[in-house]
Amino acid sequence: PNIRRSCSLLRMHYRTDMASQFSPKRVLVVDDNRDAADLTAQLLGMHGHMTTVAYGGQQGIRLALSFSPEVVLLDLGMPGTDGYAVAIAQRQSPMLEGAVLIAYTAWSDEETNKRVRASGFDQHLAKPARLGTLLALVSEARRADGLKGSTPFVQAGDAYQ
C-alpha cells in the first residue's frame, strides 16, 4: 500500500512537472494493434496529454468528431478502413480542419511517403520511434490558422534500427 501510494504521488508530481513545460494536447491514437495503441496513449498521458484510443479506422473517424483532437496519431495498415481513408475523411470534416495528422506506422518507403502526403497528413513518424521524438512531434504540433497544408510535411526517420 505505501509503495503504491508513493508511486501514485510520484506519477502525479511527474505529470504536473511535465505538463508545466508545454501546452498539453488532445490526442487521438488510432491503431488496430490494441497493445501499441494503449501503450502510446498511456505514455502520452504520463506526459500531460489528454488521450483517447480507437482500435480501427471507422471508430477513429467517429471518435475524432466527438473528441475533437488537436493531434491524431494514425496507423496506416488497418483492416477495413485504413489510415489513408481515415485521414481523407478527417480532412473533409470542417470540425477537424485544425487537427494535425501524424502517420505513425512501420511503413516508411517512398510510395508510402507519397500516399501519406496525398492523403492530407502533416507528418510521418516511423515505428518504432524514440519516445522523445514522439513527444516532441505531439507537443509542438500545430497548423497555422487551421488551414490544410499550412504545416510543412515532416518525415521523422528516427526509428530504432
Q: Give the pLDDT score at 83.
A: 95
- What are the grid coordinates assigned to 141, written together? 504540433
Question: Is 156 in contact with 133 (CB distance < 8 Å)?
Answer: yes
Q: Which residues pair with 74 in a beta bridge?
A: 30, 103
Q: What is the pLDDT of residues 53-97, one digit of tens each?
A: 999 999 999 999 999 999 999 999 999 999 999 999 999 999 998
CA angle 24, 36, 100 (to 5 degrees): 40
Specify the length of the chain in residues. 161
Q: Give the pLDDT score at 160.
A: 39
- What is the DSSP pairing of strand 123-126 with strand 26-30? unpaired
Q: Give the pLDDT score at 156.
A: 56
Q: What is the pLDDT along the chain (161 residues), one digit of tens a residue?
A: 444 444 444 454 444 444 445 689 999 999 999 999 999 999 999 999 999 999 999 999 999 999 999 999 999 999 999 999 999 999 999 999 899 999 999 988 889 989 999 999 999 999 888 899 999 999 888 764 444 444 445 555 554 33
How large is the C-alpha radius of gyration of the chain?
A: 16
First-to-last CA distance in the chain?
40
- Closest Cα to residue 78, out of 53, 56, 95? 56
